Chain A
Amino acid sequence: MIALNNVGVRAGAFTLANITFTIPSGAFGVVVGAAGSGKTTMLEVIAGVRTATIGTVVLHQHTVTQWPPEKRGVGLVYQRGALFPHRTVRDNISWSTKSESLHSSMVERLGIGALFGTPIAALSGGERQLVALARALVRVRSCLDRGEPAVLLLDEPFSALDPRRKLATRDTVRELHRDWKLTTLMVTHDSAEARRADIAVLLDAGRVVQSGPPLEMLQAPARDDVAYFLNGEG
């Protein structure tokens, strides 16, 4: 479960305020909203790399507001990957564990074995996203293998992939989410993807406009732009 209760944080000139919503255990949640609405900052608060100045963050029944990121059992994928440029693709993927089998299975599952010889600087945007996704999934799986709960946080993880690869990777993430019984929260601008979620959260200017099952949001929208983000209608 991911639950934010009245969370607020200041990030430079930007403020995230009164953020309240719950993603139940095992649910797939999405965050939608215009650019600059605070989606990435919110994921960073959940991951613990930014500390909420007010309110509480709950992950799997534990109030983790003051916990450091490394104790939270979180796998985070940034839109541009945030890969370590001084290390190899293999090093990046196995950053959190030495388990060779886990590393290999994830590489095979995402079909990125061919990237091993490529320097990080030479990877395309889509390839970076795939490596970052593999790295976060390895982290999440290793937490689960130790009996610790884990959540997966994705910040537009498929935005740089070609359409075919995007569908395949999205299906893989969905399968792993289901098989591993993960709680997942994904930032997306894809309205079709947003409608498939169990819970959607619409952010605007650092505040939650509405949250809930996408269909219910569409039936009783809090604002006109709910349909724009969930249905792609202008």
Chain B
Amino acid sequence: MQPLSGILAAVAASCLLLLLALPVGALIGGSGARGLSLLVTDHELRSALLLTIGTATSATFLAAVGGTPLAWLLARKSFRGRALLAALLDLPLVLPHPVAGIALLLVFGRNSAVGQVLLQMGLRIVGSPLGIVCAMLFVSAPLFVSAARESISQVPVRLEYAARTLGDSPWQTWWRVTLPLSARGLLAAGVITWARAVSEFGAIVVLAYNPKVASVLSYERFTSYGLPEALPVAAALALLSLVPLIALRALRSHNTPLT
């Protein structure tokens, strides 16, 4: 019975692995080279990829700036409403992404109060790079907070206590103890956030179809010109998505013992 269950488990695992790896492998193997060569000649693809990288990096930066204090708060402090705050932060993860886009449109659209105030300040969200950043931030920031919270939680609180008794202020304790010891985890949180932002489509397509990021361009070429035209763009995007994965593996391969 035991060998049979082992075989069944191996078959199930292999099937899943094939399902995950085959499409990406076929995409990169079949069109990766053409996708890379198009980077030289296809101005629209190059612009879309650069826009994707720029907006994803901005969204990641903003997620880190706002998300790190939230993660610290959730990891270190007990307060009324903590569970509610955690649930609110998880909400974007369970929303279908077009729904997230519609919700953002409702708040930042031209007819909304917030949208009009922002327009008066010269900030257009709908159909602008700022809108793309908003959509990416909305769907990926919860991932940053969750991973950063986990990373900060793993720093033994007594190390922070020890630093305080040795004369460090709360800020000094953060800079000298908590941040260095959770830096690798925070960096990994940033990589995951960036990867999620790069791959976003649903919320972006509702809030800012133009200017086109790579995922929207890939979709547009598929619907307008068919699979052959969409493949190189999709392959270039898949290659770009591999970068954070490799970075993540490198980060996880070397950790400082915390005790």
B181 cross-chain contacts in A, Cβ below 8 A: 85-86
B169 cross-chain contacts in A, Cβ below 8 A: 68, 70
**Interface positions of B from 161 to 176, Cβ below 8 Å from A:** 161-170, 176
Select from chain A the residue with minimum beta-carbon distance to B180.
Answer: A86
B247 cross-chain contacts in A, Cβ below 8 A: none
Task: Count A-side interface residues using an 8 Å CB cutoff.
Answer: 25
Cβ contact within 8 Å between A85 and B164: no
> Cβ of B5 < 8 Å from any Cβ of A?
no
Contact of B162 among A48, A72, A76, A86 (CB under 8 A): A76
Contact status of A96 and B158, CB under 8 A, knowing A85-B259, A86-B181: no
Cβ contact within 8 Å between B163 and A85: no
Q: Mark A58-75, 1 if CB is under 8 A from B, else 0.
A: 000000000011101011
Q: Could you list 12 A-B pairs, sorted by A, with CB under 8 Å?
A: A47-B164, A48-B164, A72-B165, A75-B165, A78-B158, A84-B176, A85-B259, A96-B166, A132-B162, A135-B166, A136-B165, A139-B167
Known: A44-B161, A48-B165. 6 other contacts (CB 8 A): A49-B165, A82-B158, A82-B162, A84-B177, A86-B180, A96-B166
Contact of B161 among A80, A82, A85, A135 (CB under 8 A): A82
A47–B162 Cα distance when bound, in Å, is 10
Cβ contact within 8 Å between A96 and B259: no
Q: Mark B135-168, 1 if CB is under 8 A from A, else 0.
A: 0000000000000000000001011011111111
Min CB gap B75→A, angstroms: 15
Contact of A82 among B156, B167, B168, B180 (CB under 8 A): B156
**Interface positions of B from 216 to 259, Cβ below 8 Å from A:** 256-259
Cβ contact within 8 Å between A95 and B259: no
A5–B185 Cα distance when bound, in Å, is 42
Interface of B is mostly: helix
Cβ contact within 8 Å between A95 and B166: yes
Interface positions of A (Cβ within 8 A of B): 44, 47-49, 68-70, 72, 74-76, 78, 80, 82-86, 95-96, 121, 132, 135-136, 139
Contact of B165 among A47, A80, A86 (CB under 8 A): A47
Cβ contact within 8 Å between A70 and B162: no
Cβ contact within 8 Å between A70 and B256: no
Cβ contact within 8 Å between A85 and B158: no
Shortest beta-carbon contacts, A-B, top 9: A69-B164, A49-B161, A82-B162, A96-B166, A76-B165, A82-B158, A121-B257, A96-B167, A70-B167
A96–B162 Cα distance when bound, in Å, is 11
A83 cross-chain contacts in B, Cβ below 8 A: 162
A132–B181 Cα distance when bound, in Å, is 19
Min CB gap B152→A, angstroms: 15
Cβ contact within 8 Å between B161 and A84: no
Cβ contact within 8 Å between B161 and A47: yes
